[in-house]
Amino acid sequence: MAAFICACMGWKSSDGERIELSWRTASLCIEEPIAEGESRCYQIELKLDTLVGESDLAKNLAAVLRDSVIYVSGFSTVQEAMAAFADSTKAEWLAELAERYEPDSEYNEMLQYYYNVAGSAVETGRDDVLSYMATTDCYLGGAHGSHVVMYYNFDIKSGKLLSIKDVVPADREQEMLKQMEEQLCKDWDAKDIVDLQENTGITMLGELYLTNNFLLKNDSIEFLFNQYEIAPYAAGLISVTIPFVPNP
């Protein structure tokens, strides 16, 4: 099942120009039994806000949603990409379920697969950047599911997807990394980075770095590391916000 919901909002850029953004929510939901006669179900649910129109901003956001959130390329719309993803995922799951399902098995609970994706704009207080958050929750069997949050920042006028290198000059990278380390130690009451790792697992799987998964705010940047990026699963998502004002 697919649905569209439309909404409009005004956006004022840094030079005072008013930019109208019209949003449309594309959604799809499939929920079906894992086997005939079963009450337990698998679920695929996708719900993403997309921009209406042919602006570079709308096109670039749609491309990110198709290529980096749904992971399906070659389609002209997000809705078409959703349908293709759902069809291929459902076919893959049904083949697995047919092989793994056994009536009255205690392991059938683990066959209740789900894949849920949601995405919408994030209010940051900035007039020159559109920030978007996409969340993916899934369970494909095993000990636990997965929770992933990704931020995307677009120049509101040009539509360009901003990388961290577009925002933080090379000569400030080490300064930002030092601030990140100090803020994490402060947030977790750690004496230093060694103490932080021993008590939280942060940096156990990788060193701190200026990730492209960031949220650009008025006077700060929030960096977000997903599970297994720099710490074990049990550490959860690692978020750290540090002061930041762009060079004039």
Q: Is the pLDDT of residue 209 over 60?
A: yes
How far is it, in rounded angstroms, from Cα 230 to Cα 224? 11
Average pLDDT score over residue span 181-187? 97
Could you give all domains of the chain from N- to C-terminal order, each with its CATH number? 2-155 (3.30.565.40), 164-243 (3.90.640.20)
How far is it, in rounded angstroms, from Cα 31 to Cα 114? 9
What is residue 248's predicted lDDT score, i.e. its pLDDT?
56
Who's near 23: CB < 8 A, 6+ residues apart? 6, 7, 8, 9, 49, 50, 51, 52, 121
The pLDDT-based confidence of 9 (bands split at 50, 70, 90) is low
Both structure tokens of 107? 């392991």
pTM of the predicted structure, to 2 decimals: 0.92
How far is it, in rounded angstroms, from Cα 134 to Cα 121? 9
In degrees and rounded to multiples of 5, residue 230 shows phi and psi of: -130, 0
How far is it, in rounded angstroms, from Cα 248 to Cα 246? 6
pLDDT digits (tens, 9 = 90+) for 77-92: 999 999 999 999 999 9
In degrees and rounded to multiples of 5, residue 55 shows phi and psi of: -70, 160
The pLDDT-based confidence of 1 (bands split at 50, 70, 90) is very low
Who's near 15: CB < 8 A, 6+ residues apart? none
